[in-house]
A and B are shown apart, each in its own frame.
Chain A
């Protein structure tokens, strides 16, 4: 199972790169720390953050 999943992800990496998107880009600039964002008021715009995807869920509300 491990290897199959790994091959699949390598395929995705190749597909991305064929579209000119690097799987390991050089940099990304953020303007907030992840743990600060929850203190921001609604409608604050231009918030740039980054992190590791831990879960993806369908629409709840």
Chain B
């Protein structure tokens, strides 16, 4: 009889023949082995008539009994919650899952190799933090019993990595598990892996070059090609990537020049005049930066399929980014957008402690006015900054988001081994 065995990386056909193994061992296999059990074998190779490499079993050992039968209709399983909760079954049964998860592992390995080769040092910074900073997001709260104090799970490693630059590191990066207490969607995980890196003496244009090289390196290492197919389009990443500003992009897609509307109410009025549907609850409460961001997400982002560097974000959305020397209302920041999703965020860092204090004061005001995502005042970080920072540029991206885009997956949950599921 033919037996097929597998693991996450592949499978193999075995041949068990009565006249080669003997009556006793043959019937023992028939009596006691089931599909799902583990087996260890020794034998020699041959190719079947249909040219399939097969191992002829000379001896075998029982290696582990499965008490439960493997599911039969796994592929058609409509309850995706079960697929995620029992991911080990999905890994056994679904080749696509095996491939995607192995791609993730190869991607992580490629990123580490790329950064190590360029002299970046991998560090670890705390997950438990007193203040929640480094991104605009709602944190998970927890409690430190011995210190008798509330703490947050980190939303980003940013301010700790920048403290390391103060401490004398010049090139650092971290694979940082981060936690954001926000709505569940196909695009958002509440627990995810962020890769962030910082380089002293660089600006965002240096980082642009680094990250383009990194993306090309990942594509070559993981997918063995710099071309990727999304929704039927094949995109060659080795071509030049367009650089476009928020203003020019929105002007192109809506005819509205946001620079002519410094007041958010007038800008909102103009979108109404042009019958642009934004479908957002309590839209009147949005500040100008968030409103422009919403407009961009609705009208422009879905059309950005080819890799594009989006620059000149509203500065309100970038409280830790350096303002441009010539246009202080715009940060020296970029995002890489591919297939309708932002996959990398980067900027020249704000290193002036006095300016940083002002920006965090603005954030703290937003927070006290009910914006739960705004950053808190972070005195501890400001003290570190006051000891002096060199020019710095940094970048960050979520591993799952990058994998989702590069593998054209429907849900970001497919890009993590064990996504959060509802309580069973």
Contacts and interface: CB of A to CB of B under 8 A. Distances in A.
Interface of A: 2, 5-6, 9-10, 12-13, 15-16, 21-25, 28, 30, 33-35, 37-38, 40-61
Nearest to A60: B2
A13 B65 contact: yes
The dominant DSSP class at the B interface is: strand
A44 B2 CA distance: 19
Interface of B: 1-7, 9-12, 31-50, 53, 55, 61-70, 92
A30 B40 contact: yes
A3 to B, nearest CB: 10
A25 B66 CA distance: 13
Contact of B45 (A22, A44, A58): A44
B206 to A, nearest CB: 40
A23 to B, nearest CB: 4
A60 B1 CA distance: 8
A51 B68 CA distance: 17
Contacts of B45: 37, 40-44, 47
A21 B5 CA distance: 21
8 contacts: A6-B68, A25-B62, A33-B9, A37-B45, A49-B40, A49-B55, A53-B39, A54-B4
A24 B42 CA distance: 19
B40 A9 contact: no
A49 B36 CA distance: 16
A37 B62 contact: no
Given A37-B53, A43-B45, A48-B40, A57 B1 contact: yes
Contact of A52 (B44, B47, B92): B92
What 9 A-B pairs come out closest when comparing CB atoms? A35-B10, A51-B5, A28-B40, A50-B40, A23-B65, A45-B44, A38-B53, A35-B9, A44-B45
A56 B1 contact: yes
Contacts of B38: 50-53
A9 B12 contact: no
Contacts of A51: 5-7, 11-12, 38-39
Contacts of B63: 25, 28, 50
Contacts of B41: 48-50
Given A33-B9, A50-B63, A59-B2, 15 more contacts: A9-B66, A9-B67, A16-B32, A34-B10, A37-B12, A37-B53, A43-B45, A51-B7, A52-B6, A52-B92, A53-B35, A53-B37, A55-B3, A56-B2, A56-B3
